[in-house]
Amino acid sequence: MIRQCFALLLLLATLPALAESRIHEFKLDNGLKIVVQEDHRSPVVVSQVWYRAGSVDEFNGTTGVAHVLEHMMFKGTRKVPSGEFSRIVAAAGGRENAFTSRDYTVYFQQLEKSRLELSFRLEADRMVNLNFSDADFAKEIQVVMEERRWRTEDKPQAQVGEQMMSAVFASHPYRHPVIGWMNDLEHMTAKDAREWYRRWYAPNNATLVVVGDVDPKQVYRLAKKYFGPLKAQKLPPRKPQQEPDQKGERRLVVKAPAKLPYVALAYQAPSLRGVDDWEPYALEILAGVLDGHAASRLNRDLVRRDRIAVEVSAGYDAVNRGPALFEFDVTPSEGYTVEDVEVAIRGQIEQLKEEGISEEELQRVKAQVIAADVYQRDSMFYQAMQIGMLESTPGLSWRMLDSFTQRLHAVTAEQVREVARKYLVDDRLTVAVLDPQPIDENAPKPKEIRSDRH
């Protein structure tokens, strides 16, 4: 989710609706946590079930199984046959979907507020009663493999990103793609998916987030009715997965059919681990200085003034179960090379380290970071996303939302320069370059395979 996630957290922290008086937390005896946020602006409710299980938890040889299981969750239970889940929600006038990330898997519905009970009934059922056949799995794994071809193997920049993650992380499971390596998908079995389901899908490994025009006490009563009877289970222990210190700059070249070259730079950086952790806030401001708005330094200098880049971006995502990255993506203009734009990026970094930023620029960037994507403050879905993301990350909580603005405003110009000097250094850097190859116009197009999962 996701370079903008932290910026969204900061934005949403400014809203009165996020005051603790409007957010209510409950917990069932089986360990299911329930977080309810009231938002009475329209008669709509968003319901999300967050499982603390993502690709970071996968075993070697089964990469992609978390995402595959997400697909299988639409294959039905004894009460709800395959394909009926989505039909039932649509018939109720709602919409639903799911996504898998490195850190968690999320299932969600948006419905008219009186239909919240339907969402709970369906989600509680498939939390423990999922029932898919080997034939269902054999069909759906083909869908997932085609999805991998379409999203990664046929997208040159996606190939660069995938290969870069494998180089950035020597041992941490973030090095594996969420969708999985093709070889693992080709050899995956229905048993692998069922074992993943039995291992992680339980009420005591989930958070139910509800945002909308609801009465929190009524939400709790409905959750207790449908999720309360489900039994907790013993969860596998999670061992620390610390990435070894990087010992020097890493480089790789990816050759793929493409029209333009492209370069990505990734610096290893810390994730947010608590409310008193100031460095992630300074890194977010640093990202805003470089690429937080139309007049930011990279766009101003590389795209508009020097015209050596067609596109350039910088981003930092603080909320992760594992390590974070501070990243740059650049597409050089015609007549310029990836070497030219890399030198330009490095020049911007060194200038910031040496000269820092003025107080005027600092205050302007702070205001712009908070105001970024301001239209999303009206989205119940994104409000639920921020709560779920924090609740699914060890050491964090939705209660931190009120402190984000304060912590952001506390960042000083010297702290911004300090994190640049500390983290944007060669010993933390991985550079991935796309070397464009001729495009075969006669190459077969990916075929469409129908799936219950959309």
Catalytic residues: 70
Q: Are 434 and 274 in contact (CB under 8 A)?
A: no
